[in-house]
Amino acid sequence: MASSEICNAYATSAPLLSRVQKLCQEFECTNDDVRRCANEFVHELELGLHGRTASVCQIPTYVTQVATGREKVFIILKGIALGLDLGGTNLRVCSVELKGDSTFRVLQSQVPVPRDVMVSKTSKGLFGFISQRIGLFLEHHQLSLNVTDMDPSHPYFALGFSFSFPAYQAGINSGILLRWTKGYDIPEVVNQDVCMLLQSEIDLLKLPVKVTAIVNDALGTIMSRAYTLPLTHTRPTIGAIFGTGTNGVYLQNLSGIAKPMDGMVDQSTGTMFMSTEWGSFDNKLSVLPVTRFDIELDVHSVNPGDQIFEKRTSGMFLGELLRLVILELYSDEHLRLFRERCQSAPDPDPSVSLWHRWSVDASILSTAEADDSDTLETLRSKISSTFRIASEIISAEDALAVKLLANAIGRRGARLAGTAVGSVIVQSGILSQYSIQSNATSGARSLVDVAIDGSVAEHYPGFENYIRDALRAIPQIGDEIEPHISIGQAKDGSSVGAAIVVLVAAHQGT
Ligand code: ADP
Ligand code: MG
């Protein structure tokens, strides 16, 4: 049942739910909204191909293919490489051993990135932290160099660095940070080569590791999915991340790239993966839905006016949006939210997360979506732990209010995510192959394959269905083409994909 319907059933008698119903309407993202946004999205993608200053800035990756020849490489490819994934929340270190038959063995460790590492005056904190984690990983798994059969003349592990921030690449192992996103703020790193900064810290610890490639996380996701899919399956040409932040990568015809590119471009395939950096889509707010909560969230972010699309779709922001809405409801004493058995309003308790900006994880939205029980017991306990509110004062009606609001915010985010995916499908030009392709389509082959990674995409129930709803609302896709789009998770795709890129690059060079 849609949230508005559930709410209607309760609203007439309960002032709280009646208010919730109105708030949910504010977060509606209608089919008209999707169409308007998709139109503008395609326009901005096009602008990004013409100049570097566009808000969807379209960074060339210099990776020009996923399909041709690579299948063969994947079959015979063996070896171990390290993958490193610096996300907005977590740092993952992994080793990947390709077995050469579409399977791989992964060892992985994950730690949250400490706040004082994300926001700091100097680069040393971040890159020192990362290299320490690499050292601990090698020690813990007792990885020694004799296990690699890659290249005995080079006594080091090759490391692929999945870096989930806008970085300008002039080659496979150089990435100049353009700007921080997702709450990071280390001014010293901006305009610096993050591969060199990392390598210096690795060398200080005397680790046998060489940063061989920097990979955008969305591209890494494409690579890891490409490796695991059966060869009969359509190769993924679009990658999308919905984790702390969001970004998309897609295969673009070279002939459509009008801006100059500084690096060496391999013209042989006629295509190149472009990193859209779609998190900053519509920074000028001409088409995106906007509520007063979006505005408040933006004003208090580290980058007001920037990453406006990301602030509606990704994990770092969805929990905060929910917190802001709930705080408004709580502040109205008459609505009695979280006041069961409380005769008078308690003074704000400084330990309660309801008052703390950025304290709420997006996982509460997934719990709210998943709990379909009558008593909403699981959600009540999640509300209690998330907002640090005693569970006795959370009524069933309170939990329902949170569920409906979480659904409205999550659904809007996921439909906008679908709008982004649909827009790059339109921009990629693949739809022009539809009539020919649809006749030839058989079995597992789809028109286009989309690889997805990130905790929001992985854990939010029904995320893919909402994406598909939005795809159907885009006129160029509609009901007819949407079923021909395959979408698949590439779990841990970013870290594993970075290691795979290293192995593929090493193998192609031999
Ligand atoms: P990273 O961005 O560091 O690669 P993830 O892909 O794991 O990391 O994404 C982390 C983000 O996902 C956080 O912002 C967090 O709020 C959100 N998140 C974590 N667990 C869940 C969940 N169960 N449902 C929805 N969002 C989640
Ligand atoms: Mg990630």
pLDDT (tens digit per residue) in 441-473: 555 589 999 999 999 999 999 999 999 999 999
Distances 272 to 48, 67, 156 between C-alpha atoms, Å: 14, 12, 30
Residue 349's Cα: distance from chain center in Å?
34
Interval between CA 164 and ligand 2 midpoint (Å) = 7
Measured in Å, residue 438 CA sits from the centre of ligand 1 at 36
pLDDT tens string 407-447: 999 999 999 999 999 999 999 999 988 875 555 555 558 99
pLDDT mean across residues, the chain:
88
Q: Is the pLDDT of residue 1 over 90?
A: no
266 band by pLDDT with thresholds 50, 70 and 90:
confident
Does the pLDDT of residue 75 top 70, yes or no? no
Cβ–Cβ < 8 Å for 259, 49: yes
- 413 within ligand 1 shell (Cβ under 6 A): no
Angle (CA) 36 42 46, round 5°: 145
CATH fold for the domain made of 60-231+492-503: Nucleotidyltransferase; domain 5 (3.30.420)
Residue from 361, 367, 453, 494 whose mutation best tests the ligand 1 pocket (most atoms within 8 A of CB) = 361
Q: Determine the pLDDT at residue 69.
A: 41
| Beta carbon of 459 within 6 Å of any ligand 1 atom | yes
The preferred substitution site among 221, 455, 495 for testing ligand 1, maximizing ligand atoms within 8 Å of CB, is 455
For the residues 312-336, what does the mean pLDDT come to?
94
Ligand 1 atom with least separation from CA of 366: 24
What pLDDT is stored for residue 510 in this prediction? Answer: 38
Alpha-carbon gap, residue 38 to 374, rounded angstroms: 38
Q: The tokens 């985010």 sit on which residue?
A: 413
Tens digits of residue pLDDT in 181-217? 988 999 999 999 999 999 999 999 999 999 999 988 9
Residue of 16 and 265 predicted with greater confidence: 16
Query: Which pLDDT does position 31 carry in this prediction?
Result: 98
Centre of ligand 2 to C-alpha 161, Å, is: 12
Residue 351 has pLDDT above 80, yes or no: no
Find, among 91, 177, 175, 170, the residue nearest to 128 by Cα.
91
Question: Can you give the length of the chain in residues?
Answer: 510
* Nearest alpha carbon, ligand 1 atom 21: 363
**Are the C-beta atoms of 308 and 283 separated by less than 8 Å?**
yes
> What is the per-residue pLDDT for 232?
84
Average pLDDT, integer, range 223-251: 92
For the Cβ of 183 lying below 6 angstroms from any atom of ligand 1, the answer is: no
Among 267, 125, 139, residue whose Cα is nearest residue 185: 125
Query: How far apart, in whole angstroms, are the C-alpha atoms of residue 390 and residue 338?
Result: 9
Domain boundaries, the chain: 60-231+492-503
Mutate to test the pocket of ligand 1, among 244, 411, 453 (most ligand atoms within 8 A of CB): 244
Does residue 326 have a pLDDT over 90? yes
**Which pTM value belongs to this model?**
0.91
Task: Note the pLDDT tens digit of each residue in 367-409.
Answer: 999 999 999 999 999 999 998 888 888 999 999 999 999 999 9
pLDDT at residue 7 above 70?
A: no
**Closest listed residue to residue 107, CA positions, set 76, 88, 78, 82:** 82
- Residues ≥6 apart with Cβ < 8 Å to 287: 33, 36, 37, 39, 40
